């Protein structure tokens, strides 16, 4: 098993990096130049929306069916 102190250090480091690289830096970049961020992120998000559209529709239909049963 992993030493408890090593686990705590690894978890703290992973949390810090996730907050920094996954949330703070992208948010600050988008705030600094929102038009560039929108032009850069728009096409992949549109493609993802189109690709996952059938999956989302299916999940939505199942959820609506479950709600009708309640």
* C-beta of residue 23 within 8 angstroms of C-beta of residue 15: no
* 4-41 confidence digits (pLDDT tens): 999 999 999 999 999 999 999 999 999 999 999 999 99
Q: Which residue has better confidence, 10 or 2?
A: 10
**pTM above threshold 0.75:** no
In Å, what is the CA distance from 57 to each residue of 29, 42, 50, 51, 61?
33, 21, 11, 11, 6
In this prediction, residue 1 carries a pLDDT of 62
Structure confidence at residue 2 as a pLDDT band (50, 70, 90):
confident
Report residue 20 CA to chain centroid gap.
14
């Amino acid at each position: 098993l992993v030493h408890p102190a090593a686990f705590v250090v690894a978890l703290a480091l992973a949390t810090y990096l996730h907050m920094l690289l996954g949330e703070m830096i992208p948010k600050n970049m988008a705030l600094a130049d929102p038009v560039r961020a929108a032009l850069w992120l728009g096409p992949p998000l549109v493609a993802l929306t189109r690709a996952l559209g059938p999956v989302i529709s299916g999940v939505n239909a199942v959820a609506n069916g479950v709600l009708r049963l309640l």
